Amino acid sequence: MAKIVDKFDEYSLELIYPTDEEKKNKISCAVNTNEFLFYSNNPESVYYKDFADSGKFFCRETVKGNGQIYTWHRNEYEGTITSLILMYNPTDKEIEINFTNIGTTIDPNWISDVYAWRDYLTAANSPVKITLSPYEYANIFSRQIPAYCNFGVISRVSITYKQGNPAAITFFDLAYVDETKSGNATEPAQASVTGNKADPHRGVGAGFYETFTLNLSMSSSEQDKAKVISFGKDKTTDTSNDGDSFDGKDLIQMTDSSGQIKIKGLAGNYGVQMDVRLKFTNNTGNTGNFKVVMSSSGGKIYPFVSLNGVFAYPGRRIETAKVLMEMIDLGTIENGKSVSVNFFTALTAVSTAPF
């Protein structure tokens, strides 16, 4: 039976990329496009000019029904700020908003997003229910953020009328220094836009949860090597094997209502929950031990895995591109036999795609 490894060893191996036949018939991805992703990561580093004190919000979008919130920023202001998600009910009916699987970031360290995902996947924090009267404002996740700290939120959210039908509200992601100026945010902060498809994003995405079905095997010529599946890169801009095993079809499609960010694909799929369903077959001709390893083709990565309700992470980051870290032990597998495992993961903030 598959289990979390006893020790998070790291090493380098020759990498094997999926063939065209494997990409066509052995691997697939599906996105829950009927649910939304409220995503705010641009501007990523925020300054006084980006705060409500200066008339700005980081992101404002209208969302409906079920979805997820993911925000990530770094406070580059020299003092403490207040960060929150502001909600507005634009209708003449009462609306209920339920927040579950809440994970929050507030730390100068890279590992803070890993902690947020831990709390999200283990439902460590109590759910929160808020009722908004017609045309009412309210806020959630209000926190004090010290200077030079990362901060953000991961949370599932359900928005309904009293009768249970899906409802629409407007979310604002904003921060302020002076509370008396907290209501001054009327315009979007200027996003960092270079035209590069790897730029940070903001807006509403069509989906926040992806299911990856991987039916993989290793032959005799592939033993003692690593079979690679890459996620989260637009293949149209990278024809190398370091691109996306799904040719970019796994990228969540985004819309920034401010119009500042034109690119649709969410590079890296940061903030997106990955449900990986792996069936592995040993065709090497030998009995052997096989493991699931994680890495980044782009550089640094902070891996984690949730397996059978157990959340695990190595407590350190991989510093070098394509260095592999053991995460799941599939056990000893006889030749011709298969093992199946289902686990969850995500590409955390401050990591580099493709995962």
In a domain, 350, yes or no: no
Cis before 354? omega within 30: yes
Q: Kindly report, residue by residue over 46-57, the tens digit of the pLDDT.
A: 999 999 999 999
Q: Do residues 284 and 219 touch, judged by C-beta distance below 8 A?
A: yes
| CATH number of the domain where residue 148 is located | 2.60.120
Count of alpha carbons within 13 angstroms of residue 173, beta-carbon side: 24
> The whole model's pTM is what?
0.95
Q: Torsion-angle region of residue 142: left (phi > 0), alpha (psi -120 to 50) or beta?
A: beta
Maximal CA-CA distance, the chain: 71
Q: Same domain for 12 and 72?
A: no
In a domain, 352, yes or no: no
In a domain, 150, yes or no: yes
Mean model confidence pLDDT for the chain: 94
Q: Same domain for 215 and 335?
A: yes
* 117 phi and psi angles, rounded to 5 deg: -65, -35
So what's the pLDDT on residue 291?
97
Q: Do residues 329 and 2 touch, judged by C-beta distance below 8 A?
A: yes
Residue 193 has pLDDT above 80, yes or no: yes
Q: Kindly report, residue by residue over 242-255, the tens digit of the pLDDT.
A: 568 898 889 999 99
User: What is the arithmetic mean of pLDDT over 125-138?
Assistant: 98
Report the C-alpha dihedral over residues 107, 112, 116, 122, rounded to 10 degrees: -120
pLDDT category, 127, cuts 50, 70, 90? Answer: very high
Q: Same domain for 211 and 184?
A: no
The count of domains in the chain is 2
Count of alpha carbons within 13 angstroms of residue 225, beta-carbon side: 15
Among residues 142, 159, 190, the one where a domain terminates is 190
How large a percentage of the chain has pLDDT more than 70?
Answer: 97
Q: Same domain for 186 and 223?
A: no
Q: Kindly report, residue by residue over 284-305, the tens digit of the pLDDT.
A: 999 999 999 999 988 889 999 9
In a domain, 116, yes or no: yes
Q: Same domain for 154 and 224?
A: no
So what's the pLDDT on residue 2?
95
pLDDT category, 236, cuts 50, 70, 90? Answer: low
Residue 95 has pLDDT above 60, yes or no: yes
Q: Same domain for 253 and 231?
A: yes
Q: Same domain for 135 and 216?
A: no
Residue 336 has pLDDT above 80, yes or no: yes
In a domain, 199, yes or no: no
So what's the pLDDT on residue 237?
53
Cis before 43? omega within 30: yes
pLDDT category, 177, cuts 50, 70, 90? Answer: very high
Q: What is the 3-state secondary structure (H, E, C) of the chain?
A: CCEECCCCCEECCCEECCCHHHHHHCEEEEECCCCEEEEECCCCEECHHHCHHHCEECEEEEEECEEEEEEEEEECCCCCEEEEEEEECCCCCCEEEEEEEEEEEEECCCCHHHHHHHHHHHCCCCCEEEEECCCCEEEEEEEEECCCCEEEEEEEEEEEECCCCECEEEEEEEEECCHHHCCCCCEECCCCCCCCCCCCCEEEEECCEEEEEEEEEEEHHHCCCEECCCCCCCHHHCCCCCCCCCCCCCCCEEECCCCCCCCCECHHHCCCEEEEEEEEEEECCCCEEEEEEECCCCCCECCCEEECCEEECCCCCECCCCCEEEEEEEEEECCCCEEEEEEEECCCCCCCCCC
Cα angle 196, 198, 204; round to 5:
105
Residue 241 has pLDDT above 50, yes or no: no
So what's the pLDDT on residue 240?
52
Beta-sheet pairing, 273-283 with 338-345: antiparallel
Q: Same domain for 101 and 27?
A: no
Q: Same domain for 223 and 90?
A: no
In a domain, 131, yes or no: yes
Residue 238 has pLDDT above 70, yes or no: no
pLDDT category, 111, cuts 50, 70, 90? Answer: confident
So what's the pLDDT on residue 247?
84
Contacts of 20 (CB under 8 A, 6+ apart): none
Among residues 143, 166, 190, the one where a domain terminates is 190
Q: Do residues 10 and 220 touch, judged by C-beta distance below 8 A?
A: no
The boundaries of the domain holding residue 80 are 43-190
In a domain, 353, yes or no: no
In a domain, 23, yes or no: yes
Q: Same domain for 133 and 95?
A: yes
Q: What token pair was written down for 196?
A: 């590069």
Q: Same domain for 26 and 51?
A: no
Q: What token pair was written down for 11?
A: 């090493």
Tell me the CA distances in angstroms from 133 to 182, 243, 265, one per residue in order: 21, 47, 35
Among residues 166, 190, 214, the one where a domain terminates is 190
Q: Same domain for 224 and 325?
A: yes
Instruction: Please report the sign of the dihedral spanned by the C-alpha atoms of residue 7, residue 9, residue 15, residue 17.
Output: positive
